[in-house]
Amino acid sequence: GAVVSQHPSRVICKSGTSVKIECRSLDFQATTMFWYRQFPKQSLMLMATSNEGSKATYEQGVEKDKFLINHASLTLSTLTVTSAHPEDSSFYICSGSSPYSYEQYFGPGTRLTVT
Amino acid sequence: AQRVTQPEKLLSVFKGAPVELKCNYSYSGSPELFWYVQYSRQRLQLLLRHISRESIKGFTADLNKGETSFHLKKPFAQEEDSAMYYCALRRGGNEKLTFGTGTRLTIIP
């Protein structure tokens, strides 16, 4: 199956700083990428949907100025958590959607800890 | 708005016993339903989807539109089935997935 990678796998940052998470589709072109957030022992909550070359569509309650999403190419989307706070600590997961099957392929996730 | 409900957070089943993970949904149209699985320390992966009507790793799921359910079943549980299972709904095409809260399945040896 198709592979999606995320970098970094873990990141620790200080409160007030920004951190960027990369999501790459390695062997297919992901016209659409999705960003999720997962709290411990809870389900995945969709944060935003991004289509290549367009602005991301954010879910209700997600601050677009805080969670900046860029989908500049068919194989790369980035999520930047700006002015991070401890409550932003979470597991962030991306997925890429194949334009042929519309199946979503998930990345391994990035563990963000804000101190 | 669509919603997916998985009533059981935890489910423990003896090895060799039948397994059923429940999933109910609410959506006014004709949705696509999926089951995803997340094994320990691994990424989320697709287990099966209702439109393909296939059996993967012995699991099957039938879409019951009358009961708005998409329960996941396996006749004989195996230890390697222990994982987190998520039911998900999509309106169609390249739309977003709406996930249930998940069921942690533990197979008792």
Q: For a pLDDT cut of 90, what percent of chain A falls above it?
A: 74
pLDDT band, very low/low/confident/very high, at A1 (cuts 50, 70, 90): low
B94-106 average pLDDT score: 92
Kindly determine whether residue B44 and residue A102, on different chains, have CB atoms separated by under 8 Å.
Answer: no
- Comparing B91 with A115, the larger pLDDT belongs to A115
Distance in Å, alpha carbon of A42 to nearest chain B alpha carbon: 6
Q: What distance in Å separates the CA atoms of residue B82 and residue B102, rounded to the nearest whole number?
A: 13
Distance in Å, alpha carbon of A24 to nearest chain B alpha carbon: 15
Quote the longest CA-to-CA distance of chain A: 42
Q: Which of B42, B94, B102 sits opposite A102 (nearest CB)?
A: B94
Kindly determine whether residue B97 and residue A106, on different chains, have CB atoms separated by under 8 Å.
Answer: no
What tokens does B4 get? 């997916």
CB < 8 Å from A in window 66-105 of B: 86, 93-94, 96-102
Kindly determine whether residue A104 and residue B100, on different chains, have CB atoms separated by under 8 Å.
Answer: no
Interface A:B, Cβ pairs < 8 A: 36
Q: What is the pLDDT of residues B16-58, one digit of tens each?
A: 999 999 999 998 888 899 999 999 989 999 999 888 777 889 9
The answer to whether the beta carbons of residues B103 and B11 sit under 8 Å apart is: yes
